[in-house]
Amino acid sequence: MIILRGKQVIIATLSGLLAMGTGFSANAKTKKPDNRQTIVNVSLKPTSQSKLTNYVYDTVDPTSANYHRYLTPAEFAQKFGQSKGYIASFKNYLKKYHVSATAYPGNLALKVKGTKTNVNRAFHAKYISKAKTNYQLPGTLSKQVVAVIGIFAPNSKTAKKTTSKKNSAKQTAKQKIAYLKKIAKTANASKSDLVPNTKLSTTAFSKAYGPLKFADNYQLNALYSQGLQGFGQRVGIISNSDFHIGDIQKYWQKNGINAKPSQIRRYYTISSKKYTRMLSNYMFTVASLEATLDLQQATSVAPKADYDVYIGLPVNGATTITSAHYTSFMEAIGDNIDRQISTSFTPGVERKSGWPDSSASPASYNAAFNLMLEQAAAKGITVFRATGDHGPYEDPIAAQNHAASTSPYQVMVGGTTLPYSKEINGKKVTVSKERAWGDTYTAKASELKKGFFPGGGGGGFSALNPTPRYQLGVPGVNTFRAIQLLKYIGKGKFLVNKQPKVITGTGHSRNLPDVAGDADPHSGYATYISAYSVATKNKKEIRTLHKIWLIGGGTSYVAPQMAAANAVMNSGRTTPLGFWNPQIYRFAQQADSPFNPLNDTKNNNNLYYTGQPGTVYNQASGLGTINFEKLFTQFNQETDE
């Protein structure tokens, strides 16, 4: 999971929090217009919220007349979108300020473009605080607005130092170089369990570190034996960075994957193709590593599918990361060519402090995201999202928090650890059976003493979304068993409690994750990346190319694997599977469930939540791991085919 304002990938070295962000700070007192081009998004209300939600559920209810009656963008616009007249009025209003707007297919959102100065004038943006910008629209327009995402009005009373941009960029470059060198050092350590054996045959390598490992553990190989590999399907990947196609091909070659670069298409949703590729080729970024592993995992699990990568890379502070992320998602859903979409990126966490958008609060952004994902569900698109890699503490603070969005209209994917026995950091570690990923036992004593721990799968209770109807009454939902493994000591650090207490209780919101799969680096998957580190010596720039094989983990690996597995199943059907969640929670309560709930109370936690005996759900690993052979059968038994 990558938090776009700068967070982590659990890969090669432990998990570590790594802040990787560049800033832009303009002199707020200047009277010169800000002519940087920005993209702002306006989320709009549906004609009827209740009818939209009911329709979404009806599409996956075999008893409904609307079962699998997925809507085209035009049908959705006619049924639930804003009128053409309203859209035209909004466009005409913005045009007065030299700002353009385009309605996304479905008429539930507008993509607004213009200079920052003109956009702020059009929305009458007013600085309230660093975290809040007020905006104002004519009453006839504002009544149908859910959220305006991406507006920031500068504080005209306070000048900011323009040197912060240069210093921040310089410090960030040093961090990236250090991180890449750390990865390279680990990858070159022959005894590390986080380095794959590249001397293995393609089949052996794939079974040990690649797609066959996923397929064997979660019974997807049974679908491969039926000739299903994703042919005829398209998979959308929501990304924040470009990637090197050569790295993807290198991964394919080592795993014996017969795929072609022509199966992958890029869509640049914010910055130009030229700028985005230039940045990706120039030096290593954590986001490019994330984009690379997302594609390697997805394309290898469904090698016959096609892939659409939506790259929303904001530059020089003109477009907020919240707006960029929303734009990429909305364009993917609007294009309506992918029946499954995955992302391992998020713009922030579900709390006001540190939220990176001043015009859309976490609550209003969440509402906009829910509407967008309801539109996806109504079209038969299944969306998968990584839950995060630090248990219920995505931001390292005392209070539990989760990566945004925790929308109930997507499949939240958590993490597990596969069985292994090996020596790690001078001690023998044995995991006897698959468990929820919550690792406090492999780190060095010196690391734990400093307040750092390897990681765990995201899970818990949403701060913004109520319990969805498909979770109500499910055994284990809204009850929990937990163990206080960690004690927050401040400054983003935790210590492991020597005598942790067991806690039981209840929750009253959307429970997450929904499902889980192997995400532990110590039982993880191979990744290949080539990237430059950049340094200066005697005022000359020195770029060093690193070519690295490593073993990584994190829910970032599992989400694209799940999306690809969905493509494999869809390739054996005539109608898409659509909105998973109401269906899988129903399946999980049946006698021949396709899920393996991880219910143990010992050695089975995500750094806080544990299993719950006698239930089908827990907040450490959701409904559990998936038997895809059984899941495919269950889906087909309900089909209208």
Instruction: Quick: pLDDT tens for 405-442.
Output: 999 999 999 999 999 999 999 999 999 999 999 999 99
Picking from 127, 149, 171, the residue at the C-terminal end of a domain is 149
Q: Is the N-terminal amide bond of 100 cis, ω within 30° of 0?
A: no
Would residue 535 count as lying in a domain? yes
Is pLDDT above 50 for 128?
A: yes
At 222-261, the pLDDT tens digits run 999 999 999 999 999 999 999 999 999 999 999 999 999 9
Q: What is the pLDDT of residue 161?
A: 45
Residues 145, 291 within the same domain: no
Q: What is the pLDDT of residue 447?
A: 87
Q: What is the pLDDT of residue 185?
A: 60
Q: What is the pLDDT of residue 283?
A: 84
Would residue 156 count as lying in a domain? no
Residues 101, 219 within the same domain: no
Which of 528, 508, 531 has its CA nearest to residue 460? 508
Is pLDDT above 80 for 162?
A: no
φ/ψ (deg, to 5) at 42:
-115, 115
- HEC readout, 193-242: CCCCCCCCCHHHHHHHHCHHHHHHHCCCHHHHCCCCCCCCCEEEEEECCC
> Which region among 78-87, 200-209, 330-339, 537-546 has the lowest average model confidence (pLDDT)?
537-546
pTM for this predicted structure: 0.92
More confident residue, 123 or 498: 123
- pLDDT classification of 4: cutoffs 50, 70, 90: low
Is pLDDT above 50 for 12?
A: no
Which of 548, 555, 556 has its CA nearest to residue 195? 548
More confident residue, 409 or 156: 409
Q: What is the pLDDT of residue 188?
A: 56
* Cα separations in angstroms, 451 against 442, 460, 495, 519: 14, 22, 5, 22
At 169-196, the pLDDT tens digits run 444 455 555 555 566 565 555 556 789 9
Residues 501, 597 within the same domain: yes
φ/ψ (deg, to 5) at 73:
-55, -40
Q: How many domains does the chain have?
A: 2
Residues 6+ apart with CB under 8 A from 537: none
* Cα separations in angstroms, 540 against 109, 178, 179: 47, 19, 21
Picking from 108, 127, 149, the residue at the C-terminal end of a domain is 149
**Range with the largest mean pLDDT of 19-28, 151-160, 587-596:** 587-596
Picking from 96, 121, 149, the residue at the C-terminal end of a domain is 149
Residues 136, 258 within the same domain: no
Residues 509, 577 within the same domain: yes
Domain housing 87: 37-45+82-149
Residues 464, 432 within the same domain: yes
Would residue 69 count as lying in a domain? no
Residues 169, 137 within the same domain: no
Residues 103, 169 within the same domain: no
- pLDDT classification of 316: cutoffs 50, 70, 90: confident
Residues 86, 195 within the same domain: no
Q: What is the pLDDT of residue 407?
A: 98
Per the prediction, the chain carries an average pLDDT of 91
Q: Read off the amino acid at residue 392.
A: P
Q: For residues 310 and 269, what is the distance between their CA atoms, to the nearest angstrom?
A: 7
Percent of all residues in the chain with a pLDDT value above 90, rounded to a whole number: 78
Would residue 29 count as lying in a domain? no
Tokens of 477: 């939902």
Q: For residues 408 and 404, what is the distance between their CA atoms, to the nearest angstrom?
A: 12
Would residue 623 count as lying in a domain? yes
Residues 103, 211 within the same domain: no
Q: For residues 122 and 127, what is the distance between their CA atoms, to the nearest angstrom?
A: 14
Would residue 434 count as lying in a domain? yes
At 598-629, the pLDDT tens digits run 999 999 999 999 999 999 999 999 999 999 99
Average pLDDT over residues 84-88: 98
CB 387 within 8 A of CB 512: yes
Residues 14, 87 within the same domain: no
- pLDDT classification of 130: cutoffs 50, 70, 90: confident
Residues 272, 188 within the same domain: yes
Q: In CATH, what number is assigned to the domain containing residue 451?
A: 3.40.50.200
